[in-house]
Amino acid sequence: KQEVTQIPAALSVPEGENLVLNCSFTDSAIYNLQWFRQDPGKGLTSLLLIQSSQREQTSGRLNASLDKSSGRSTLYIAASQPGDSATYLCAVTKSYDKVIFGPGTSLSVIP
């Protein structure tokens, strides 16, 4: 059974710091991995999608990497800003009916 974990569960950093969020999964036979952002009381916003054949994706200050063999993905946020404060979720897709979300990392960026 695929299990997805995220470390740390919560993170507080000063503005301007670079940071890394971690996502681990137990079954390496995945179709893709996606990182989402969720603001309190809101829906999920897709940040980056990495196909199983890819190693990384970049969007602005965000960079996500994927290492299927070790069952790991990292989300790197450069020069963090208070507006980055949110919960970050990773989701692993094995097939369309097997989308497993991690529990999320709650990020707080202090001005």
Partner 1 sequence: NAGVTQTPKFQVLKTGQSMTLQCAQDMNHEYMSWYRQDPGMGLRLIHYSVGAGITDQGEVPNGYNVSRSTTEDFPLRLLSAAPSQTSVYFCASSSRDREAFFGQGTRLTVV
Interface ranges with partner 1 (CB under 8 A): 32, 34, 36, 41-46, 49, 51, 89, 91, 96-97, 99, 101-104
DSSP single-letter state for residue 96: T
Q: Decide: 24 and 71 in contact? Cβ < 8 Å.
A: yes
Q: Which is nearer to partner 1, 19 or 44 (CB)?
A: 44
Min separation Cβ 34 and partner 1, Å: 6
Please identify which residue in the block is written with the tokens 């980056």.
Answer: 48
Smallest gap from Cβ 111 to partner 1, in A, equals 27
Q: For partner 1, which is the closer residue by CB, 77 or 90?
A: 90
Compute the least distance from the CB of residue 105 to partner 1, in Å: 12
Give the angle 65-42-63 at the CA atoms, nearest 5°: 15
**How far apart are alpha carbons 11 and 109 in whole angstroms?**
8
